[in-house]
Amino acid sequence: MDKRFDTNEAAAYLGVKPKILWEWRNRTPIPLPCYRISKRKFIYLKSDLDNYLAQCRIDISCHLGVSND
């Protein structure tokens, strides 16, 4: 079974403040997946968090003009 996190645990796992998770859920081109349990309670699955990070990954060398050759 996939590990479940509440908002504070998910934020700690990702190394951000809980408020950032709200922004990622609501204000980003790639919304952060979660389950809304009640008006203020959200649950995050570890696999969803890992997949979200993978989708947001950028290749720094591309942005710095560094060749991979």
Domain ranges of the chain: 4-58
Model's pTM, two decimal places? 0.77
Strand partners, 36: 42
Half-sphere exposure of 51 (CA within 13 A, CB side): 11
Question: pLDDT tens for residues 13-48?
Answer: 999 999 999 999 888 788 899 999 999 899 999 999
How many C-beta atoms lie closer than 10 Å to residue 64's C-beta? 7
Angle among Cα 45, 29, 62 to the nearest 5 degrees reads 100
Two tokens, residue 11:
């934020």
- CATH fold of 4-58 reads Multidrug-efflux Transporter Regulator; Chain: A; Domain 2 (1.10.1660)
- In the predicted structure, residue 66 carries a pLDDT above the cut 70: no
Q: Distance between CA 46 and CA 10 in Å, rounded?
A: 8
